[in-house]
C-alpha cells in the first residue's frame, strides 16, 4: 500500500472528497488538455470516410507504425528480423500482409511491457497503468498524456456522443477504485470529484439496505447519466426496484467491463427511463467497440485494425480478437491477442452510414455473481491479486453462503504473507467469509478457450 493510499484510508469523508477532487483535477487536465480537441475533430471527420478512404488511412498508419516499431522497439526489431523482414518491407506493406507477422501474446506483454516492448523514442513523461489483472498478473501499459488525449477523444466521440452525452455532464460511476475502503463502512458509499462533476460510487457496498444511500448520492449531485461496470449498475437498479425506490430519469446508461445481456438492458432502461449503451475496450487501448445511436456495435477502425481469427489463426467471423493499435507508438501493440472473442454480424450495413464493421457479440465477458452474507453482489475481484509474487492466475469459486474457494496457479510457491493479503482483501470486499486456498499447476479454461475468473455454485437469492 502506498503512502497516498494510507493517507486516503485514514482521512474523514470530507477530506477524501477533497483528495478525490484533487486527483480529478489532475486527471482532467491530463486527458482533456493539449491535443484532445484536435483529436476529437479528427475522430468525428473519420466517421464520414468512405470504405476505400478508411482502408487507405489504415494502410498508411500501419506502415508508419511498423517502420517505427522495426527501428525503435527492440522486441519487434528482433522478431521481425528473425521472420525475414527488412526495413524496406514496411514501406510498401499492405493490410493483407498483416497476417504474415507473428502474434503478440498477453504473456509477452506482461514479460516485456516495461522493457523491450517500449520504444527508445518514447515520450519519457509517460506513466505505466495496470490492467484489471483478473486472471492473475496484470499487464503494464505505458501511456503518455498525448496518447491519453487521443484515447479520450475516441471515447468522447464514439461512446458519449453516440449516446447523446458529452463530458461536461454530471455523471455517476461504478468502477474498481476502492473509494470506500471498509467492507462494513457506514454511509456515504460514494465520493465526489467536483472538477469533473463525477460521483464515484463504491462497487463493493451495493445491497438492498445500502441502495437508499446510492440514490441519495444521485439526487444530491444531479447526475445526468450512469457509467461503469455493467453488473454493478444492474444490481443497483435491481435493489431500487425491490425497495420501491424511484431514481431520477437519466439521459443514458453507459456500461462496460462485463457482458450486458438483454434482460439487464431492459431493467436498466426501465429503472432510469432512458436507453443503455454498451462499449468494449481495455487498458491496452488498441481497440474500441461501441454502440451507435441505433445500438449497433461498431469497431472504431480508424484507431486500430481488428482481426478475428479461428484456432488455426485463419480469418473467420467468430473467434479471437487480435488488435493492432494506432494510438500508442510508445509501446506499440501489433497483432495483440487480448484474450476476448467476438462475433461479427452477418449483416454489415450500418444504419448510421459510418464505414465501420458491425459486431454482433463480444463473447466471453460474462462472470458469475458472488453473494455476500449481507446480500451484496459482486463479480469483480481483480484487486485481490495485484502484486502477489509468483502468482500467475487465480480463480474465485463460491461454494456456499460465506464459503469462498480461491484457486491459485503458481509455478513457484506463494508465501504466507501473500495468502494472508489475498484473504484480507477478499474480506474487505465481501465482509466475513470462510476462505480456502487450492494451489494448482494450471487452471483449466472453458470449452470456448476462455478463462473464467469467477464461478458461483450457489443460487442467487
Tens of pLDDT, residue by residue over 48-103, are 999 999 999 999 999 999 999 999 999 999 999 999 999 999 999 999 999 999 99
Pick the CATH number of 33-154+282-363 from 1.10.10.10, 3.30.930.10, 3.30.1330.200, 3.40.50.12780: 3.40.50.12780
Computed on alpha carbons and rounded to an integer, the radius of gyration of the chain in Å comes to 22
Mean of per-residue pLDDT scores for the chain: 91
- H-type alpha helices, 94-168: 106-112, 145-155
> Does the pLDDT at position 400 exceed 70?
yes
Measured distance CA(156)–CA(363) in Å, rounded = 24
Contact 29, 336 (CB under 8 A): no
Measured distance CA(429)–CA(91) in Å, rounded = 52
> Does the pLDDT at position 233 exceed 70?
yes
pLDDT in tens, 348-380: 999 999 999 999 999 855 567 788 888 777 766
What is the reported pLDDT for 132? Answer: 57
Measured distance CA(338)–CA(325) in Å, rounded = 12
Measured distance CA(269)–CA(261) in Å, rounded = 12
Q: What is the pTM of this model?
A: 0.84
Which segments of the chain belong to CATH 3.30.300.30?
A: 370-456
> Does the pLDDT at position 1 exceed 80?
no
To the question of domain 370-456 being in CATH 3.30.930.10, the answer is no
Which segments of the chain belong to CATH 3.40.50.12780?
A: 33-154+282-363
Measured distance CA(446)–CA(442) in Å, rounded = 13
- Percent above pLDDT 90 for the chain: 68
What is the reported pLDDT for 448? Answer: 45
Measured distance CA(420)–CA(422) in Å, rounded = 5
Q: Which residue did the predictor score with more confidence, 379 or 298?
A: 298
Amino acid at each position: 500500500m502506498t503512502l497516498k493510499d494510507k493517507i486516503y484510508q485514514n482521512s474523514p469523508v470530507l477530506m477524501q472528497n477533497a483528495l478525490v477532487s484533487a486527483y480529478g483535477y489532475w486527471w482532467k487536465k491530463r486527458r482533456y488538455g493539449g491535443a484532445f480537441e484536435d483529436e476529437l475533430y479528427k475522430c468525428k471527420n473519420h466517421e464520414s470516410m468512405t470504405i476505400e478512404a478508411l482502408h487507405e488511412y489504415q494502410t498508411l498508419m500501419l506502415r508508419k507504425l511498423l517502420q517505427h516499431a522495426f527501428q525503435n522497439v527492440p522486441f519487434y526489431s528482433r522478431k521481425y528480423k528473425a521472420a525475414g523482414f527488412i526495413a524496406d518491407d514496411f514501406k510498401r506493406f499492405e493490410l493483407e500482409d498483416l497476417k504474415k507477422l507473428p502474434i503478440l501474446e498477453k504473456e509477452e506483454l506482461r514479460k516485456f511491457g516495461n522493457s523491450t516492448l517500449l520504444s527508445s523514442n518514447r515520450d519519457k513523461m509517460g506513466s505505466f497503468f495496470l490492467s484489471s489483472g483478473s486472471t492473475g498478473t496484470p499487464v503494464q501499459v505505458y501511456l503518455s498524456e498525448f496518447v491519453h488525449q487521443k484515447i479520450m477523444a475516441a471515447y468522447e466521440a464514439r461512446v458519449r456522443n453516440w449516446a447523446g452525452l458529452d463530458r461536461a455532464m454530471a455523471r455517476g460511476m461504478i468502477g474498481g477504485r476502492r473509494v470506500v475502503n471498509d467492507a462494513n463502512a457506514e454511509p456515504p458509499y460514494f465520493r465526489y470529484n467536483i472538477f469533473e462533476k463525477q460521483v464515484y460510487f463504491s462497487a463493493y457496498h451495493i445491497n438492498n439496505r445500502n441502495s437508499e444511500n446510492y440514490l441519495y448520492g444521485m439526487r444530491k449531485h444531479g447526475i445526468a447519466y450512469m457509467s461503469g461496470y455493467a453488473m454493478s449498475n444492474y444490481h443497483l437498479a435491481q435493489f431500487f426496484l425491490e425497495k420501491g425506490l424511484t431514481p431520477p430519469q437519466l439521459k443514458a446508461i453507459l456500461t462496460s467491463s462485463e457482458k450486458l445481456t438483454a434482460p439487464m438492458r431492459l431493467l436498466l432502461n426501465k429503472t432510469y427511463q432512458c436507453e443503455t449503451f454498451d462499449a468494449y475496450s481495455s487498458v491496452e487501448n488498441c481497440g474500441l467497440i461501441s454502440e451507435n445511436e441505433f445500438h449497433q456495435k461498431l469497431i472504431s477502425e480508424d484507431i486500430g485494425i481488428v482481426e478475428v481469427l479461428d484456432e488455426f489463426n485463419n480469418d473467420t467471423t467468430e473467434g479471437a480478437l487480435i488488435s493492432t493499435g494506432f494510438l500508442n507508438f510508445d509501446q506499440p501493440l501489433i497483432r495483440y491477442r487480448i484474450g476476448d472473442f467476438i462475433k461479427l454480424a452477418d449483416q454489415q450495413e450500418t444504419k448510421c452510414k459510418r464505414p465501420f464493421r458491425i459486431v454482433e457479440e463480444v463473447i466471453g465477458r460474462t462472470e458469475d455473481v458472488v453473494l455476500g452474507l449481507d446480500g451484496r453482489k459482486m463479480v469483480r475481484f481483480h484487486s485481490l491479486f495485484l502484486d502477489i509474487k509468483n502468482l500467475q492466475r487465480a480463480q474465485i469459486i463460491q461454494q456456499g453462503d460465506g464459503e469462498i474457494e480461491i484457486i491459485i496457479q503458481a509455478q513457484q510457491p506463494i508465501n504466507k504473507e501473500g495468502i494472508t493479503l489475498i484473504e484480507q482483501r477478499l474480506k474487505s470486499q465481501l465482509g466475513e467469509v470462510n476462505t480456502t486456498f487450492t494451489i494448482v499447476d494450471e487452471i483449466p479454461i472453458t470449452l470456448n478457450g476462455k478463462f473464467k475468473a469467477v464461478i458461483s455454485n450457489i443460487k442467487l437469492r
